Structure 1
Amino acid sequence: MRTVHRLVLHEARVFGSLALWVGRRRHGTAGGRVFGYARGQGSTLLGLAFVCVIETVGVAAMLRDWPAAHGVMLVLDIYTVLLVLGLHAAGVVRPHVLTGDALRVRYGVRVDVRIPLGAIGAVRRETRMTHEYAAGELDLPVGSQTSVTLELAEPVGWTTLLGRPEEVRVVRLYADEPDALVQALTRS
């Protein structure tokens, strides 16, 4: 039951992000320097939304003689289009945030990890295209690519989408302006 609750909460946050995006607002960025990551996924997600709209029109034409099925599919198709737009919006309105004492690394509504600046042992600009799962590592690729690697001097805890606590020692993330993020972290 907890898993279902977490997934419903996840969906609500995605749609909440869509509302923030329409209102041109951001979530949790007050008092910090913002580093976006959504530019790398924008064209893919918006293209997927366009394909979903085309699919909606095609299915509507095929089911025009079955009003009940047409209504159900229309609702599902509209939900899908809004969900895809919401996933993009979540990346736009929830960027990485650097404050005076921590870096808040985020990936839409799915990941939100607060890394104290004192826990960052090394930071470097590193473009990686492959990411194999390894215990103690958190990879947050956009378009299958990460551009910044953080090696932590001490493990940092975070909670997965389904509520499982984990600790990480290496965080790889994507930033639209990776050099600026690395410079800001090096100065801190």
Structure 2
Amino acid sequence: MRESRLAVPPLLRRAVAYEVGMWRSLYRWILRRPPALEPGAEAFSYLGVVRPILGVFIGLSAIEIPIFDLIISRTVPWEWVRTLALVLGAWGLLWMIGLFASLRLHPHVVGDSGLRIRNGTTVDFTLPWSAIATLDARYRSLPSSRTLQLEKDGDGGLVLNVGTGSQTSVDVALRAPLAIPLAKGPSEPVTELRLYADDPTGLVSCARRHLARHLSGSGS
């Protein structure tokens, strides 16, 4: 007799992983336990562009809980409804704070192993220096607010945008087309990546130093 396994849909798996990652980030942020960096590595934030928006949502959520509770206590006779509303309100507030924490605790990292590109707990991959041709600081607007967006460049190559707040600020040209490991699976081979960093000039300068050391060490 064949054993049958209950297959977990990929979308559900990613949703669970996202939720777990966010609550773990909140826990580490409250306890002031940021993930450790490899020796000599530098971290670069991308939170600045969305910090005001997240701050407004968190503030509104905090104000909404007591107001909504007051309305329900005056209009709904069932105590369980009030309790449920309080639980959902508190969960929503903590969820927003957890999202903030996940973005804060998972910055881009430039180190000896390469350029690590992140967005919260949903995007996390490293480009080795051997795969990178050039880096430049350049602000670009994106057509939507989605974190990951693919587009064709002027030469027919494929570009992967890892955006924040519908924009990118660093262009990374690759030496050869490369499939990027993402949560949904490997992307189509791309010739360029674009990401957002609060300090694009600092990230590019640091990355160029590492890239130069790699090239001199490899004799290229």
Tell me if both proteins adopt one fold, taking TM over 0.5 as the criterion. yes
Answer yes or no: is 1:113 the counterpart of 2:125. yes
* SS at 1:186 equivalent: helix
Match of 1:46 among 55, 59, 71: 55
Is the Cα contact below 8 Å between 1:123 and 1:182 reproduced in 2?
Answer: yes
- State the AA in 2 paired with 1:35: F
Aligned to 1:171: 193
* SS at 1:142 equivalent: coil
What do you get for the CA RMSD once the two structures are aligned? 1.8
Task: Pick closer, same or farther for the CA change 1:12–1:174 going to 2, 3 Å.
Answer: same
Q: Which runs of 5+ in 1 are unaligned?
A: none
Displacement of 1:14 after TM fit? 0.4
Counterparts of 2:56 and 2:170, CA distance in 1: 26
Is the Cα contact below 8 Å between 2:50 and 2:164 reproduced in 1?
Answer: yes
- Which runs of structure 2 are paired with 1:1-188 in the superposition (5 Å)? 1-2=8-9, 3-31=11-39, 32-64=41-73, 65=76, 66-131=78-143, 133-134=149-150, 136-154=158-176, 155-160=178-183, 163-167=184-188, 168-188=190-210
Higher relative contact order (CA 8 A, sep 6+): 1
Displacement of 1:152 after TM fit? 1.4
Deviations 1:113-162 (A, max 9, x none): 111111112211110122464354322222222111111123142123xx
Is the Cα contact below 8 Å between 1:157 and 1:165 reproduced in 2?
Answer: yes
Counterparts of 1:29 and 1:138, CA distance in 2: 25
Is the Cα contact below 8 Å between 1:156 and 1:169 reproduced in 2?
Answer: no
Count the aligned residue pairs. 186
Q: Compare CA radii of gyration and give the structure with the larger one.
A: 2
* SS at 1:175 equivalent: coil
Counterparts of 2:122 and 2:36, CA distance in 1: 15
